[in-house]
Homo-oligomer: A and B are copies of this chain.
Amino acid sequence: MSGNNWPPKAAHPEDAGFDKPHLVIVGGGFAGLTLARRLKRADINITLIDKANHHLFQPLLYQVATAALSPGHIAMPLRAIFRSQKNVRVLMNRVGEILPKERKIRLVSGDEFSYDRLVIAAGARHSYFGHNEWEKNAPGLKNLSDALRIRQKILATFEKAEAMLAIGKEDKAELTKLLTFVIVGGGPTGVELAGSIAEIAHHTLRKEFRGINPDTTRVILVEGGEHLLMAFPGSLGKSAEKALTRLGVEVRTGVAVKNVMFDGVQIGDELVSTANVFWAAGNTAATLLKTLGTPLDRAGRAVVGPDLSLADFPEVSVIGDAAHAIDASSGQPLPGIAPVAIQQGQYLAKKIKAELQAKTMPPFRYWDKGSMATIGRGRAVAKIGRAHFTGLIAWLMWSFIHILYLVGFRNRFAVMILWMYGYITNSRTVRLITADDL
């Protein structure tokens, strides 16, 4: 591996093999994946490190958590994606520390790597606002393990309730606790999760139990802000609330969660007894960023300049959910959403190619193509420019765009069929739990 040769001394390094400049990308999410793919023809060596072996289509993760899709439908092995892109080497590993002065990264195993150019696209985890002890009772939804854990929890709770009645041990308080679901956070993930759980309880499972009546399930969605989907205009938040209410979700806005216990949650002044709390509020960037020693924002994201690089280390860039980048149009920090991550990956690919030729690039500009969130089967809200859409038309737009983005994934055909089938029949066929889960 080469040391300290960035920016490359020659505009076109002629050296072969390991003497080519070495770009290390940490994270194979939307940002890191887009960057690596766009550098297909760059004459450099790329090492892409991720702690999982797959890229995850995160916008559909809640569908795995709610048993509508299998993990295999929304994840793709990174090695398969880069099979024929010979300048990329994939490494499944955890990065423990970054040593920017030495241009090295240290794996958790203690082994070190040197880089010439580094891009951190390590994403974010949920933030528990200083109450990390809540996590064990209120799991979040960021990766496949999270999704399978939530799926198991949702399904096992109905089984437990049914078993209680079958053996003649009816305990009304316990039953209420089991059949109450609380989702904290009224952003897109919280809205999608609440809508899906309500559909499972009130439609999918309705005729499948002989003891309990899943239709009596309570689903409560809590949002601290004044309306749902705070990133959207208030009218769309209201529209989402109406649609969720029709699905049987109790929406509580403008109220904060004050405590999460193993058997309940404190919402404002009210104590709700529940065995099922799911967390979809707030983000905190990967803790890895702390090891950089450069400024972070309150959410732990690395503060980057207009070219997405660190002021102190221009050969280090941070993109995606891990970056605090300012939107050139609005002067506000860019949100942690897939379109921002993808555009930042695209920009940085161009910039790195420019650096290789000792050229400069204008600053990054985010082009807001609009945003959308689904609520349930055939219901969504969307904002494109100044136009707002709700209901079936928004859902069809959402479906179309998400299928489009899955292009490049070999399994998109199966996803489409499962979707169409699921939409027609409202079935959830991936409702699998094993004895290990009880």
Residues of chain A touching chain B, judged by Cβ–Cβ distance below 8 Å, are 47, 51-54, 70-73, 75-77, 79-80, 82-84, 89-94, 107, 109, 111-113, 143-145, 155, 159, 162-163, 166-167, 169, 205, 207-211, 410-411, 413-414, 417-418, 421, 425, 427, 429-436, 438
Contact = CB atoms under 8 A, between A and B. Distances in A.
A22 to B, nearest CB: 12
5 contacts: A52-B432, A54-B431, A77-B208, A89-B166, A90-B208
Given A83-B208, A434-B52, A435-B52, A72 B429 contact: yes
Copies in the complex: 2
Contacts of A90: 162, 208, 210
A235 to B, nearest CB: 38
B53 A159 contact: yes
A135 to B, nearest CB: 15
B431 A53 contact: yes
Given A47-B166, A89-B166, A418-B414, A155 B427 contact: no
B70 A205 contact: no
Contact of A430 (B72, B92, B421): B72
Listed residue (A71, A76, A169) with the most chain B CB atoms within 10 angstroms of its CB: A71
A73 B76 contact: no
A427 B410 contact: yes
Contact of A205 (B79, B169, B210): B79
A163 B53 contact: no
B418 A91 contact: no
Given A92-B159, A163-B93, A438-B92, A429 B76 contact: yes
A171 to B, nearest CB: 13
Nearest to A433: B53
Nearest to A80: B208
A436 B145 contact: yes
Contacts of A205: 79
Contact of A70 (B71, B162, B163): B71
Contacts of A145: 434, 436
B47 A77 contact: no
A432 B148 CA distance: 13
Given A83-B207, A162-B91, A417-B413, A431 B77 contact: yes
A51 B163 CA distance: 12
A104 to B, nearest CB: 12
Contacts of A432: 52-54, 71-72, 75, 77, 144
Identify the interface centre among A83, A93, A166: most chain B CB within 10 Å of its CB: A166
Report the 3 A-B pairs with minimum CB-CB distance, sorted nearest first. A51-B435, A79-B208, A70-B70
Contacts of A112: 167
B163 A91 contact: yes
Interface hub of A53, A155, A159, A438 (most chain B Cβ within 10 A) = A53
A61 to B, nearest CB: 13
A91 B144 CA distance: 28
A92 to B, nearest CB: 4
A93 B434 CA distance: 10
A424 to B, nearest CB: 11
A233 B309 CA distance: 68
